[in-house]
Structure 1
Amino acid sequence: MKKKSESKGARALLREFFFNRVGEVIDSDTLRQVAGISEWARRVRELRNEEGLNIVTHNDRSDLKPGQYVLISLKPLPAFERGISKETRAFVLDRNGFTCQICGAAAGEPHPNDNGRKTRLHIGHIIDKSMGGTDEPNNLRAICSLCNEGASNLTLNRPQAIKLIAQIRRAPGKDQLDVLHWLISKYPTQAKVLIEEANR
């Protein structure tokens, strides 16, 4: 019961902190201190996905570095309700062998990249709900707290440009335009230069 109230308190603290700093770049260390819990990143995701706060990261804007967050405005985006049942969570954890599907750390064992602290597993979406992902088991995976925060993303093998381009070429025109709009919003300066060069 205490853990539940603590997590709610952290979420409220983070919400208030973001509301008082709209448009400001906030780093992960600051958010961790504000929340006062190790699972602060999960609370931030809840603010985004469940309350619709327009919080962006380096995945959304090229001028932001990993670990930086910005609340764009107080106008909420469409929010998503948490819809993963206990049964589904248990099924996914069992299917994944109670092991993080990104780094391989096992639940309850000392995490190799987290100063020996015990590994805690969560359920993560493969395709985020904000991008159309569902709560179906085939879109869920076991993921440890550290990978859930994104700290291990730097060590993942990223797809090569040629493979990404091949996937985009296979996509319908509407999806290709969605990718184009996203790239332009993430790289506005570079897009402007490319457009000017193309019009010469």
Structure 2
Amino acid sequence: MDKTPGSKEKLKAFLLNNVGKVVDSNRLREVAGSSEWGRRIRELRNEEGFDIITHKDRSDLKPGQYILVSAEKKDRAFQRNISKETRAFVIDRDGNTCQMCGVAAGEIHPFDGRPARMQLGHVVDKTKGGTDDADNLRLLCSVCNEGASNLTLVRPDSISLLIQTRRAPKKVQLEVLAWLIKKFPKEAQRIQSS
């Protein structure tokens, strides 16, 4: 059995060897060997309690710079306790589609050109008091989940979406229609037969 360390273990070892030193996101991505490095950093900080700070915590740091302040863990660590049932419910409720950008699982993502991978994300992040209840969870693609970084976007209402769709060129409107028919085939068939 292969015992190669995962990206989180690689990042942890690297940061522990560089306690108190400023490291940038490019170096962390290189160490992790994964595009998921940001998520692993958040796991180390939030779930394992490592005191990893960024420009949001200290004004002398630039965006993309990180410091592991101490090798000692803080008490703010928490565990993710999302049950398989809750996970399945959220995936089904959200139609296996990213609730921020609308890309479906497996579709080629327009921002990175790879098949979209879905992840559960918190509406209100656990670091800000959010829970693992289904009402506080949403399905996000990995691109949006990485970019969300504790941001909560206001979802547009149906009128706003309709206004934007009406303003779009015919080609775009037809693409939206095709996507809706593909996403809701039963409903589309019922509407066509009535």
Question: CA shift at 1:96, angstroms?
Answer: 1.5
Question: CA shift at 1:89, angstroms?
Answer: 1.2
Taking structure 1 as reference, are residues 101 and 69 closer, same or farther at Cα in structure 2, changes over 3 Å only? farther
Name 1:140's counterpart in structure 2: 137
Name 2:58's counterpart in structure 1: 61
- Specify every segment of 5 or more residues in structure 2 that has no aligned partner in the other structure, as ranges: 155-194
Q: Secondary structure at the match of 2:72?
A: coil
Question: CA shift at 1:17, angstroms?
Answer: 0.7
Taking structure 1 as reference, are residues 102 and 27 closer, same or farther at Cα in structure 2, changes over 3 Å only? farther
Q: 1: distance between equivalents of 2:149 and 2:16?
A: 28
1:22-76 Cα offsets, whole Å, 9 max, x none, are 2222222211111112222221121112210111223333333333222122221
Name 2:108's counterpart in structure 1: 110
Name 1:38's counterpart in structure 2: 35
User: Conserved in 2, the CA contact under 8 Å of 1:56 and 1:70?
Assistant: yes
The aligned amino acid for 2:144 is: C
Taking structure 1 as reference, are residues 45 and 152 closer, same or farther at Cα in structure 2, changes over 3 Å only? closer
Q: 2: distance between equivalents of 1:93 and 1:145?
A: 14
Match of 1:120 among 109, 117, 120: 117
Name 2:126's counterpart in structure 1: 129
- Specify every segment of 5 or more residues in structure 1 that has no aligned partner in the other structure, as ranges: 158-200
TM-score using structure 1 length: 0.66
Question: CA shift at 1:84, angstroms?
Answer: 0.7
Q: 2: distance between equivalents of 1:14 and 1:132?
A: 26
Q: Secondary structure at the match of 1:58?
A: coil
Which entry has the higher C-alpha Rg, 1 or 2? Answer: 2
Taking structure 1 as reference, are residues 19 and 90 closer, same or farther at Cα in structure 2, changes over 3 Å only? same
Name 2:162's counterpart in structure 1: none
Across the two proteins, how many residue pairs are aligned to each other? Answer: 152
TM-score using structure 2 length: 0.68
Match of 1:94 among 92, 95, 106: 92
Match of 1:28 among 25, 30, 34: 25
Q: 2: distance between equivalents of 1:151 and 1:105?
A: 15
Name 1:48's counterpart in structure 2: 45
Q: Secondary structure at the match of 2:6?
A: helix
Q: Secondary structure at the match of 1:73?
A: strand
Question: CA shift at 1:152, angstroms?
Answer: 9.0
Q: 2: distance between equivalents of 1:58 and 1:98?
A: 34
User: Conserved in 1, the CA contact under 8 Å of 2:7 and 2:34?
Assistant: yes
Taking structure 1 as reference, are residues 119 and 153 closer, same or farther at Cα in structure 2, changes over 3 Å only? farther
User: Conserved in 2, the CA contact under 8 Å of 1:54 and 1:76?
Assistant: yes
The aligned amino acid for 1:19 is: L
Q: State the superposition RMSD in angstroms.
A: 2.6
The aligned amino acid for 1:80 is: F
Q: 2: distance between equivalents of 1:126 and 1:57?
A: 22
The aligned amino acid for 1:145 is: S
User: Conserved in 1, the CA contact under 8 Å of 2:7 and 2:32?
Assistant: yes
